[in-house]
């Protein structure tokens, strides 16, 4: 039965209208009344390698906890997700949390910040991949941003949890281009302080060449090195040296190997036996070379035994078991434990204590220092480990660098004291309701690392 | 030769040190790639050095066995376990499809025979002359190198067909050895720490001086404040209730943290100083020459 033409026209007009009304009524009240997010802005992320943009936006303070946000990226006319999953608004940081991007005083510190560095694409497995692995299925894969790319991004705001999520707002943030930076301006304070400190140290090294008589305070642990080696020689027992568990790329291991060289030269002079069981094969190779040269420089190349510097294992507690076995069976009269140690420090030092050996330890591992102090006769604490090589060699240029370090420490101490006084005065002034005319905050900002 | 032994390493340390220092301040992709390259080189070098380490360990233990030094039995056990774990790594987790003469076993057998050849060549050289140990080590290194190259050229390209056992899977012999032998032994060594802490704490907490007494008191307060029962305890001073937990937190967050930061500052400044000494070639002991 055909409908009259006028009825058809009315239906054609009415159906879209009804659908539109239904769509509007299905939107939540917040979307109709007041929008959650506003002031969306897309900018290039500063001080980076040009692979990310920052999406900043303002949001109503009274938003429900179930509010979530997510970026979408326009790719070839299609809006694609900008992340694996949406993020709860309460977990999104604000501009005030990123001084490295927005400075210490951002104009809009409460604005939220989302990093957009990719878009997700739906990737179907190729025929070849399916041939290799038939279980492969299509999935969302990330496509990372590249430097120099321009992207248009919008913010998607949603609500709800447990499968009841619904989108309540889509907010255009505009477009921006990623730029690759060559210098990280946020690390400028670091560079300035580092350069200043380097100049001071180099200045003292040069000064030490002209005046080699520098005073360095006594370090008990290093004064006892000769005593320990002498005791082992008298008893006819070997000397055990451990370089710690870190690889040679760690400075504390380099410091330990430097000290090994100094100790080896003394051992060569005393004609004693030096055992160096190693945890790292690279450290073993370098230790062999260092000890060999120390013996040559001492005029005793014939006394050098490569067999005494060997690799044990690179497993922590297997190494401990092996070293403890050496301590108990060979009974070394002097144990040197220098470098970076972990949980094994106490097992090693306590076993050495039970064998009655004189023990000298040195580490910059703060958590292990109490164990060494408790169980060893002498402990080189932190920086003393790094000073040991210079101290033992008495080389003016090395001693000069120690002086430079002391000046650096004095500078830091002065800054800490001045900062403490200013902070304390600031608290009292604030309590008294006095507003300072000078902004001292720059001082703390200057010294606070941005990266 | 002196140039390659002394000047070149110092020059390399200077250039690489400066480049990596500058790299820290550059976020560019070039700088990041450079850092990744250096990290990759370090990993490759460490991997190559591991061969030297294994050779050194075998040499050390075999010397003890061959000369029957006191405690050589431990070395014998070590060598046996080493061989056993290496062999365990070659066994696949899947049932053997081709019986004992499968190609996988054939390659394993080739490796084992090469290992025997190495050992047979090594023993006489050590017995004949201790000083020839380096020479023996060189031969071993060369032969192991041949084995390694054979593995890379033959095994890796064809491992899908020949050597699936290289992939360590659950229920394989290697996995069984690791889970049921290595892990319990490792945990046993670690658990010794508790007893050592008790004996060390006993010595440290003897109140022989003012410092030791202060350590004893603060240590007791922190221990009480950190256990569940102690957290509920409190004492009153001038009518104010003070909990052990709050005093423990104060000790950890104030005097303890201050001392730790002091040490840390000294360490960090020392690190900068030693880095400069290495970069500018002032500290050369680690290169094998003291001065």
Q: What is the CATH number of the domain that holds A340?
A: 3.40.50
Q: How many domains does chain B have?
A: 2
The alpha carbon of residue A61 is apart from the nearest alpha carbon of chain B, in Å, by 34
Read off the DSSP letter of residue A49. Answer: B
Q: Is residue B131 part of a domain?
A: yes
Q: Is residue B19 part of a domain?
A: no
| pLDDT number for residue A21 | 36
**Residue A364, CA distances (Å) to A246, B4, B219 in order:** 12, 33, 22
Query: What is the distance, to the nearest Å, from the Cα of residue A349 to the centroid of all Cα atoms in its chain?
Result: 29
Judge if B112 and B89 occupy the same domain: yes
Instruction: Inform me whether the pLDDT recorded for A445 exceeds 70.
Output: no
The alpha carbon of residue B119 is apart from the nearest alpha carbon of chain A, in Å, by 18
> What is the spatial distance between Cα B85 and Cα B78, in angstroms, rounded to a whole number?
11
Span A322-369, pLDDT tens digits: 999 999 999 999 999 999 999 999 999 999 999 999 999 999 999 999
Q: Is residue B20 part of a domain?
A: no
Judge if B159 and B212 occupy the same domain: no
Q: Is residue A187 part of a domain?
A: no
Residue span of the structural domain in which A285 resides: 212-394
Span B114-158, pLDDT tens digits: 656 665 666 566 566 554 454 555 555 555 555 555 554 555 445
Judge if A261 and A337 occupy the same domain: yes
Q: Is residue A134 part of a domain?
A: yes
Span A95-119, pLDDT tens digits: 999 988 888 788 899 999 999 999 9
> What is the spatial distance between Cα B113 and Cα B111, in angstroms, rounded to a whole number?
5
Closest listed residue to residue A362, CA positions, set B83, B106, B270: B270
Instruction: Inform me whether the pLDDT recorded for B42 exceeds 90.
Output: no
Q: How confident is the model at residue A437 (pLDDT cuts 50, 70, 90)?
A: low
φ, ψ for residue A153, nearest 5 deg? -130, 145
> What is the spatial distance between Cα A401 and Cα A201, in angstroms, rounded to a whole number?
5
φ, ψ for residue A449, nearest 5 deg? -65, 135
pTM: 0.77
Mean pLDDT is lowest, of A383-387, B91-95, B168-172, for: B91-95
Other CB atoms within 10 A of residue B156 CB: 12
Read off the DSSP letter of residue B280. Answer: T
Judge if A318 and A373 occupy the same domain: yes
Q: How confident is the model at residue B85 (pLDDT cuts 50, 70, 90)?
A: confident
Q: How confident is the model at residue A442 (pLDDT cuts 50, 70, 90)?
A: low
B270: which chain A residues are within 8 Å (Cβ-Cβ)? 382-383, 385-387, 405
B36/A contact by beta carbon, under 8 A: no
Judge if B89 and B118 occupy the same domain: yes
| pLDDT number for residue A252 | 93
| Largest separation between any pair of C-alpha atoms in chain B | 86
The runs of H, that is alpha helices, within A188-270 are 188-210, 220-235, 251-270
Report the percentage of chain A scoring pLDDT > 70: 88
Q: How many domains does chain A have?
A: 2
Residue span of the structural domain in which B221 resides: 205-286
Q: Find residues 113-152 of chain B whose CB sits inside 8 Å of chain A.
A: 133-134
Judge if B162 and B49 occupy the same domain: yes
Question: Which residue, of A394, A415, A444, is where some domain finishes?
Answer: A394
Strands A309-311 and A274-278: parallel
B53: which chain A residues are within 8 Å (Cβ-Cβ)? 278, 280-281, 284, 311, 314
A380 pairs with which residues across the strands?
A362
| pLDDT number for residue B98 | 47
Q: Is residue A289 part of a domain?
A: yes
Q: What residues contact residue B108 under an 8 Å CB cut-off, 6+ apart?
A: B87, B90
Give me Rg for the CA atoms of chain B.
28
Tokens of B180: 């049921």
Is the model more confident about A31 or about A426? A426
Judge if A218 and A174 occupy the same domain: no
Q: Is residue A56 part of a domain?
A: yes
Tokens of B68: 């029957």
Judge if A163 and A229 occupy the same domain: no
Mean pLDDT, to the nearest integer, of B196-217? 85
Q: Quote the ipTM score.
A: 0.77
Average pLDDT over chain A, rounded to an integer: 86
Read off the DSSP letter of residue A434. Answer: P
């Amino acid at each position: 039965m055909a409908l009259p033409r006028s009825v058809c026209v009315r239906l054609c007009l009415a159906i879209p209208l009804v659908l539109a009304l239904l769509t509007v009524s299905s939107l939540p009240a917040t979307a109709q009344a007041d929008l959650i997010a506003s002031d969306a802005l897309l900018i290039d992320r500063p001080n980076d390698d040009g692979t990310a943009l920052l999406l900043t936006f303002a949001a109503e303070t009274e938003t429900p906890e179930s509010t979530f946000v997510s970026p979408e990226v326009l790719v070839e006319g299609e809006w694609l997700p900008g992340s694996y999953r949406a993020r709860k608004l309460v977990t999104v940081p604000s501009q005030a949390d990123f001084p490295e991007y927005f400075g210490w005083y951002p104009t809009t510190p409460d604005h939220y910040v989302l990093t957009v560095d990719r878009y997700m694409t739906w990737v179907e497995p190729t025929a070849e991949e399916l041939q290799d692995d038939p279980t492969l299925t299509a999935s969302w894969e990330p496509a990372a941003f590249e430097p120099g790319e321009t992207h248009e991004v919008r913010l998607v705001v949603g609500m709800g949890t447990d499968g009841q999520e619904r989108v309540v707002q889509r907010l255009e943030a505009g477009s921006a281009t990623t730029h690759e930076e060559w210098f990280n301006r946020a690390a400028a304070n670091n560079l300035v302080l580092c350069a200043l400190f380097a100049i001071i140290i180099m200045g003292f090294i040069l000064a030490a060449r002209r005046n080699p008589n520098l005073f360095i305070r006594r370090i008990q642990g290093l004064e006892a090195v000769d005593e320990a080696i002498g005791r082992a020689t008298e008893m006819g027992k070997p000397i055990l040296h451990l370089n710690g568990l870190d690889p040679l790329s760690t400075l504390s291991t380099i410091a330990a190997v430097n000290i090994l060289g100094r100790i080896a030269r003394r051992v060569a002079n005393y004609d004693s036996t030096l055992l160096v069981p190693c945890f790292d094969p690279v450290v073993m190779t370098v230790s062999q070379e260092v000890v060999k040269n120390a013996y040559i420089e001492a005029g005793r190349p014939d006394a050098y035994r490569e067999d005494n510097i060997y690799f044990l294992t690179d497993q922590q507690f297997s190494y401990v078991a092996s070293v403890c076995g050496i301590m108990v069976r060979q009974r070394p009269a002097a144990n040197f434990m220098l470098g970076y140690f972990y949980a094994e420090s106490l097992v090693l030092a306590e076993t050495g204590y039970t064998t009655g050996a004189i023990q000298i330890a040195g580490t910059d591992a703060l958590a292990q220092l109490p164990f060494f102090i408790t169980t060893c006769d002498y402990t080189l604490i932190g920086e003393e480990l790094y000073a040991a090589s210079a101290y033992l060699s008495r080389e003016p240029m090395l001693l000069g660098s120690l002086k430079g370090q002391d000046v650096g420490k004095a500078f830091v101490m002065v800054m800490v004291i001045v900062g403490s006084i200013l902070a304390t005065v600031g608290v009292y002034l604030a309590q008294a309701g006095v507003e300072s005319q000078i902004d001292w905050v720059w001082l703390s900002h200057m010294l606070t690392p941005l990266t | 030769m002196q140039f390659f032994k002394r000047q070149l390493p110092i020059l390399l340390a200077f250039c690489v040190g400066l480049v990596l220092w500058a790299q820290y301040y550059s976020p560019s992709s070039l700088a990041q790639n450079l850092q990744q390259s250096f990290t990759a080189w370090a990993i490759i070098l460490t991997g190559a050095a591991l061969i030297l380490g294994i050779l050194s360990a075998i040499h050390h233990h075999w010397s003890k066995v061959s000369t029957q030094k006191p405690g050589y039995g431990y070395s014998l056990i070590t060598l046996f376990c080493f061989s056993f774990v290496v062999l365990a790594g070659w066994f696949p987790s899947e049932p053997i499809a081709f019986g004992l003469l499968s190609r996988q076993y054939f390659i394993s057998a080739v490796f084992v025979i090469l290992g025997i050849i190495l050992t047979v060549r090594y023993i006489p050289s050590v017995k004949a002359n201790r000083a020839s140990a380096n020479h023996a080590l060189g031969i071993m290194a060369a032969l192991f190198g041949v084995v390694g190259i054979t593995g890379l050229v033959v095994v890796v390209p064809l491992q899908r067909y020949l050597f699936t056992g290289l992939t360590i899977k659950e229920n394989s012999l290697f996995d069984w050895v690791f889970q049921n032998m290595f892990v319990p032994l490792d945990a046993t060594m670690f658990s010794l720490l508790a007893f050592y802490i008790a004996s060390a704490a006993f010595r440290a907490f003897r109140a022989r001086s003012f410092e030791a007494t202060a350590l004893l008191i603060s240590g007791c307060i922190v221990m009480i404040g950190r256990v569940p029962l102690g957290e509920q305890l409190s004492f009153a001073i001038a009518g104010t209730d003070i909990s052990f937990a709050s005093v423990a937190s104060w000790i950890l967050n104030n005097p303890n943290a201050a001392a730790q930061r002091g040490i840390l500052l000294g360490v960090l400044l020392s690190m900068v100083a030693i880095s400069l000494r290495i970069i500018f070639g002032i500290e050369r002991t680690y290169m094998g020459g003291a001065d």
